[in-house]
Amino acid sequence: MKFFKYLFFLIVLIFVVGSLYIATISIPEEKTLNFETPITAELFEQKIQDLSTYENWFSFPQKSTSEPRLSSAEDFENTTLSWQNETFEAINFQNKNLDEDSIQQRLVLKTWLSSSEFDIRWKFESSENVSNIIVHLKSDANFWQKTEYVFTGKTHLEITEKAITQSLKTLEQTITKEISVYDISPIGKLETGGFYILHATSASRLNFDSILRKSKPIFQSIEEFMKQQELDIFKGKLIVFENFYNDSENIIFSAGIGSKNQVAIPNYFEVLSKQIRSNVYFKTQLKGDYINLKELLSIAEATIEKRELVIDKTLKPYLEFQVDSSDTVNPAEWVTNFYIPIFEN
């Protein structure tokens, strides 16, 4: 009888001492991750706020044991994604708030022994060459989480940190694959022109990266001018190549905005106006990133030669940015038309 009595007290003592030990354990409750990527942060933001995409890129290291369940998809602040895996009896992501540059979410993890609740804040920063996805995790580690840590050697915060880091790498690969899709289509002969372009002129070697970089501030300046003057835009952003067929080392080009009618421009504005004459042009279309513009030019000229058409070198070819980054940040959705003047057969 005394044996069981002593055994009982020993068990109680072990429990008390163990509890005191567990209570003294310190587990980090906050973590900030910084994921750097060359892809614009807005593309990440679109995916991260849409919980229906998580099945394609987000995963914990352990194997899933259930299909993901999406609920309240029509209500952003209550949209919830739930599933289970070999470690957690329940994994629940819930959108809470969407700001101009950040997303707030709640993540709940449950095991047979403990549960944890994370406040997650995704913040998105973009610069010219690199973007940062900043993820802040915050959770209060309770007694049972500490107990589980004693048995497993891993905290829910560590598991979540690893899952987010690896999942962002997967998401980067997914987005890279999506935006690399492009299509170049010869459209054919058509009559166009017969409008004016408000522009500024610059020069570059035949390097589309350089041409686009120099054109961007010109587009912005001309758009501001047209807004000030209350002028209607007839055509969107255009780049007219002035000496494309002169075998010159530098390409002179005019970047600007199309206008239906000629505009009288005050002398104090550094804006010029010229006519794009009506003529027969061969149109080739690129759907995709501007890194494919060189291929667009090559296919356009090869198609013209194949169809035994003759380029009218007295007129100027031009690019038309039908859909660009001001319409969508996804390069796969950009549409650029290249018009080469030809003689009518």
Q: Is residue 196 part of a domain?
A: yes
* Structural domain count of the chain: 2
Q: Is residue 1 part of a domain?
A: no
pLDDT at 152: 85
Q: What is the CATH number of the domain that holds 205?
A: 3.20.80.10
Q: Is residue 4 part of a domain?
A: no
Instruction: Count how many Cα atoms sit within 13 Å of the Cα of residue 8 in the half-sphere of its side chain.
Output: 5
Q: Is residue 88 part of a domain?
A: yes
Q: Is residue 8 part of a domain?
A: no
For the chain of 345 residues, list the mean pLDDT of each consecutive stretch of 10. 46 42 63 96 95 95 92 90 95 94 95 93 90 94 76 89 96 96 96 93 91 94 89 90 87 94 81 92 97 96 95 95 94 97 87
Q: What is the CATH number of the domain that holds 116?
A: 3.30.530.20
What's the pLDDT tens digit per position in 66-94? 999 999 988 898 899 999 999 999 999 99
Total residues found in the chain within this entry: 345
Buried b or exposed e, range 308-336, using 16+ CB within 10 angstroms: ebebbeebbbbbbbbebeeeebbbbbbbb
Report how far Cα 9 is from the mean position of its chain's Cα atoms: 62
Q: Is residue 15 part of a domain?
A: no
Contact 155, 30 (CB under 8 A): no
Distance CA 86, CA 61 (A): 9
From 134, 151, 179, give the residue that closes a domain: 179
Are 114 and 210 in the same domain? no
pLDDT at 240: 96
Would you say the C-alpha torsion 20, 22, 26, 28 has a positive or negative sign? negative
Q: Is residue 54 part of a domain?
A: yes
Buried b or exposed e, range 203-215, using 16+ CB within 10 angstroms: ebeeebeebbebb
Are 128 and 105 in the same domain? yes
Q: Which residues pair with 340 in a beta bridge?
A: 282
Contact 83, 91 (CB under 8 A): yes
Are 101 and 80 in the same domain? yes
Given 3-state DSSP classes, what are the helix, strand and coil percentages for the chain, each rounded to the nearest 5? 35, 35, 30
pLDDT at 4: 45
Neighbours of 216 (CB within 10 A): 13
Q: Which residues pair with 59 in a beta bridge?
A: none
Are 87 and 104 in the same domain? yes
Q: Residue 269 contacts by C-beta under 8 Å, 6 or more apart in sequence?
A: 225
Amino acid found at 289: D
For the CA atoms of 305, 251, 277, 314, the dihedral, rounded to the nearest 10 degrees, stands at -60
Distance CA 263, CA 273 (A): 7
Q: Which helix (H) or strand (E) holds 116?
A: strand 115-126
pLDDT at 25: 59
Distance CA 273, CA 295 (A): 30
Q: What domain range includes position 260?
A: 183-341
Are 47 and 67 in the same domain? yes
User: Alpha helix locations (H) across the chain?
Assistant: 2-24, 41-48, 54-57, 143-152, 156-179, 208-228, 293-306
Are 151 and 253 in the same domain? no
From 179, 212, 235, give the residue that closes a domain: 179
